[in-house]
Amino acid sequence: MLNLKLIAILYLIMPAKKIILSSIFIAFLFGSLSTFSQTKKIDSLKSALTNAREDTVKFRIYYNIASEYWIGLKDTIDFVNTFRYEDSAFHLAKKLNYQYGIFDCLMCYGNVYAYQHKLTEAKRYFNEAIEAVKLIGDKKMLADSYFELAGDFFQYGLLSAKNSAQNFPIALDYFFKSLKAYEAISDKKRMADCWLTIGKLYSWQLFFNMGNGNALEIEKSATNALKLFEESKEKNEVDIANCIFFKGKANYFKGEYAYALESFLVSLKSFKDSSIKPSIAGAYLNIGRVYKGLADSAFAKGNKAYSSKMLSESFKYLYLSLNLYTELKFDAYIALCYLYIGTNQIDSRQYPLAKENLNKAILYTEKLNGGGSYQEIYQSLAKVDSAEGNYKLALKHYNMYMAYKESNFNNTSIFESLNYKLQYEFDKKEDSLKQKQLITETKLNAEKKQKYLYWTGLILLALLSFFVFLNFRNQKKINRLAAETYAKERTELELKSLRAQLNPHFIFNCINSIDAFIHSNDKYNATVYLNKFARLLRNILDSSKLTTVSFAKDIDTLKLYVELEELRHENKFTAIFHIKDELLNNDYKVPALIIQPFVENAILHGLKNREDDNGLLQIEIKKVQSSIEYIIKDNGIGREAAARIAQNKETSYGMQMSNDRIKLFNKEEKASVQVTDLYKDGIAAGTEVRILLNII
């Protein structure tokens, strides 16, 4: 099984994203259950399998059992049982023609083979998975699938130089296919993610000594990503900082240290502002390397004083990086810090300290199960041994350095990687040429048809004039009849229309919440939520054919909704109702769910965004002369703060509809709705909404 600390490091270097990683691969990367608990879970799933009757249920159980065996018992993956139960799930998915299930199974097969370094089999299953996505017809899912596969092979490649030579070209192939797929749906944010990750991959190729020509590719990729992030509505400062960071790496690899330092310092500030410790540590590490490059450059020019100053700065940032990576327990980067510190100490003629830190680098590298940069470590050790006069040991370390260097360098891998980029650029130009050709042919065909359309248009115009005359004569009669019924039907028709638009949005949120509990395996809350939702749905269906419902029934429906929201948000707020008995005991009629959108807005934009769980929603309803007064009060973050957060368009639409419904029901020009911002000591302390509804 892979070292979990290393896996955590590999995950952190990938861009933040929202992709469709299969549950099995996530479990493989981050799952680490105890033998007892996992065995118990497998036994429970097998017991459920014996009682399952529906094929759809059996498929999910088979799939989950395979997932558990894929996680591995006693730190060892059970490949036999993984395949056994995955085969059963796959055959059921094919029997049911369940394309999503077929896709999941094929992805599982591919990941298992990829983990065993059986890349031919892995690619075969991954490509079959892609074909399954194509049958589904979801372009976004297709692009996400390519991106996921690229990420899988990228991470497998990061385990060692040998793995990188095998996996990086495959990863690039999928990255460029993903990029092309995202271009087809104009998803600039995901296109930017692709370019940024491609730049990271080129950077790691350089780390594994797979060709210095990649420095330009890193720069191009980072530049493309930066441009797309700037154009995307979903951009954030961390994305921009990552692009600048990798432009800095490109400049470092090209030896343009001043530009590299500027880029790293800019990205470091952004990482600090966002408190991203791994990125901060990475920036420290690379700044330390840049100062080492400046020191070497100054020394070569004979400026020893400036060289010494730059070397001191290099030590400073490398130790900052070491301390932070030690806090994070990132063994791979701790090893690198010790390596670069040791290398600096060689230049400072601190040979005993250099040897001590280089040996520490070896110790941390050994924790990575074949990963790490042994090549540079043994090269530096050979220099130390030679400086101390221990030539026999120096020769041994030099031979080890050469052995790692020869095993790491792979020209075929480099050329294969570059070929995928060239193929992407060729396909893009070819698509552009085809598009231009299609436009030209379309214009020519249009010109040929234009004269025929001209005469056809004249004939149609004559016919149209005749029909307009007939229509004009009939329209007078139609208008007279329509005017008599229009006024009567207008109000009822608009109320029904508004209510019909409200219900689907309202029900959609409830279904999402139930789905979340099911996916988190929270059976109790899922059952409670489902029962409440069933009651709520019944109430809605009962009133769907009515213009108005009783006040008591409408309040019962509203209470059910609030209870569901309390469960969905894990009791982040408390709801208190104050309703006068006079209203509950009389048969007053109101429009169904008339205040629900205002309550929903208070929850989603006010209470949900509080940093604590002390939210309070107060709903007071009383009779005021010939009206019912609703007062909805929350202690949320206030409208001004909520406006800075991404708004739920459907919620706003629901509130607008409720305003329109109130106007129509009250027969007034302006809805009797008053919204007041609440403040305490000059600080936003919530919102209060007052609504007046005529009594009927």
pLDDT per residue as tens digits for the range 457-470: 778 887 887 778 77
Q: Look at residue 464 in the predicted model and tell me its pLDDT.
A: 81
CA distance 228 to 195: 9
Contacts of 118 (CB under 8 A, 6+ apart): none
- The pLDDT confidence band at residue 284, using thresholds 50, 70 and 90, is very high
pLDDT of residue 379: 86
% of the chain surpassing 90 pLDDT: 26
**Distance between CA 675 and CA 688 in Å, rounded?**
6
Supply the pLDDT for residue 36: 55
pLDDT above 90 (res 289): yes
Residues 6+ apart with CB under 8 A from 558: 593, 595, 596, 599, 619
C-alpha–C-alpha distance, residues 164 and 154, integer Å: 8
- The span from the CA of 86 to the CA of 67, in Å, is 8
pLDDT bin (cut points 50, 70, 90) of residue 111 is: confident
- Residue type at position 174: Y
The residue among 424 and 619 whose pLDDT is bigger is 619
Q: Which of 292-296, 484-488, 527-531 has the lowest mean pLDDT?
A: 484-488
Give residue 160's pLDDT band: very low, low, confident or very high (50, 70, 90): low
User: Per mean pLDDT, which range of 386-390, 395-399, 492-496, 679-683 is the poorest?
Assistant: 492-496
**Per-residue pLDDT at 24:** 33
Q: What's residue 541's pLDDT?
A: 78
Structure confidence at residue 117 (pLDDT): 78
Burial of 583 (0-12, 13-18, 19+ CB in 10 A): middle
C-alpha angle 75/79/85, rounded to 5°? Answer: 120
Pick from 203, 325, 222: which is nearest to 267 by CA? 222
- How far is Cα 288 from Cα 340, in angstroms, rounded to an integer? 8
Q: Tokens 């509130």 label which residue?
A: 655
Alpha carbons 103 and 133: distance in angstroms, whole number: 7
Cα–Cα dist 400/490, whole Å: 88
pLDDT of residue 42: 84
- Per-residue pLDDT at 364: 87
Q: Rank 364-373, 643-652, 687-696 by mean pLDDT and report only the highest.
A: 687-696
Helix (H, G, I), strand (E, B) or coil at 31: coil
Please give the pLDDT value at position 653: 56
pLDDT over 70 (residue 121): yes
Q: Which residue shows structure tokens 């029997």?
A: 95
Model confidence at 682: pLDDT above 90: no
DSSP per position, 196-249: HHHHHHHHHHHHTTS-TTHHHHHHHHHHHHHHHHHH-TT--HHHHHHHHHHHHH
CA–CA gap between residue 565 and residue 608 (Å, rounded): 10
Residue 214: Cβ-neighbour burial (10 angstroms; 0-12, 13-18, 19+): buried
Computed over every residue of the chain, the mean pLDDT equals 80
Are the CB atoms for 344 and 292 separated by under 8 Å?
yes
SS3 658: helix
The amino acid occupying position 414 is: I
Amino acid at residue number 333: Y
pLDDT tier at 41 (50, 70, 90 boundaries)?
confident
Would you call 626 helix, strand, or coil by DSSP?
Answer: coil
Radius of gyration in angstroms for the set of CA atoms belonging to the chain, rounded to a whole number: 33
Q: Which helix (H) or strand (E) holds 675?
A: strand 673-680
Compute the distance between CA of residue 554 and CA of residue 577 in angstroms, rounded to an integer. Answer: 13
Distance of CA 439 to the CA centre of its chain: 37
Check residue 438 and give its pLDDT: 56
Distance (Å, whole) CA 408 – CA 377: 14
- At residue 501, does pLDDT exceed 50? no
CATH homologous superfamily for the domain 1-185: Tetratricopeptide repeat domain (1.25.40.10)
> Options 3.40.50.920, 3.30.565.10, 1.10.3720.10, 3.40.50.11540; which CATH number does 496-694 get?
3.30.565.10
Other CB atoms within a 10 A radius of the CB of residue 375 amount to 21
Q: Give the three-state DSSP class for 410.
A: coil
The kind and range of the H/E element at 639 are helix 639-643
Residues in the chain: 696
Residue at 219: amino acid letter: E
CA pair distance 288, 314, nearest whole angstrom: 4
- For residues 210 and 410, the answer to whether their CB atoms sit within 8 Å is yes
pLDDT band at 44 (very low <50, low <70, confident <90, very high): confident
d(CA 657, CA 598): 11
* Whether pLDDT at 283 is above 90: yes
Judge whether residue 233 has pLDDT over 70. Answer: yes
- Once rounded to an integer, what is the mean pLDDT over residues 16-39? 41
Rounded to an integer, what distance in angstroms lies between the CA atom of residue 154 and that of residue 141?
20
Q: Where are the domains of the chain?
A: 1-185, 496-694
Flag whether pLDDT at 414 surpasses 90. no
Q: Residue 440: its pLDDT value, please?
A: 55
Let me know: does 306 contact 284? Beta carbons within 8 Å.
no
Angle at 211 between CA 205 and CA 217, to 5 degrees: 70
Query: What pLDDT does 524 receive?
Result: 83
Within 10 Å of residue 564's Cβ, how many Cβ atoms? 20
DSSP-derived secondary structure letter, 548: -
Its pTM surpasses 0.75: no
Instruction: Please tell me the distance from the alpha carbon of residue 555 to that of residue 628, in angstroms, as a whole number.
Output: 13
Angle, helices 411-519/523-543, rounded to nearest 10 degrees: 60
Q: Is the pLDDT of residue 314 over 80?
A: yes
Nearest to 548 by CA among 592, 498, 501: 592
Beta-ladder partners of 683: 680
588: left (phi over 0), alpha (psi -120 to 50) or beta: beta
Quick one: average pLDDT of 16-27? Answer: 33
Q: Distance (Å, rounded) from C-alpha 468 to C-alpha 180?
A: 51
Helix axes 188-207, 237-253, angle to 10 degrees: 30
Distance CA 302, CA 114 (A): 51
| Distance from C-alpha of 677 to C-alpha of 672, rounded to nearest angstrom | 17
pLDDT digits (tens, 9 = 90+) for 138-155: 899 999 888 988 888 887
Per-residue pLDDT at 347 exceeds 70: yes
Strands 573-579 and 615-624, how do they pair? parallel
Pick from 87-91, 267-271, 369-373: least confident: 369-373
User: pLDDT grade, residue 400 (50/70/90)?
Assistant: confident
Full DSSP string of 143-202: HHHHHHHHHHHHHHHTT-HHHHHHHHHHHHHHHHHHHHHHHHTT-HHHHHHHHHHHHHHH
Measured CA to CA, the distance from residue 534 to residue 335 in angstroms comes to 57
Q: Please give the C-alpha separations between residue 31 and each of 3, 38, 85, in angstroms, as whole numbers.
A: 12, 10, 19
Give the three-class secondary structure for 52. Answer: coil
Tell me how far apart the alpha carbons of residues 264 and 259 are, in angstroms, rounded to a whole number: 9
Same fold for the pair 1-185 and 496-694: no
Distance CA 200, CA 194 (A): 10
pLDDT in tens, 546-591: 778 899 999 998 999 898 888 878 888 999 999 998 899 888 999 8
Query: Which of 103-107, 346-350, 447-451 comes out lowest in average pLDDT?
Result: 447-451
Measure the CA–CA gap between 184 and 325, rounded to whole angstroms.
40
Q: How confident is the model at residue 6 (pLDDT cuts 50, 70, 90)?
A: very low
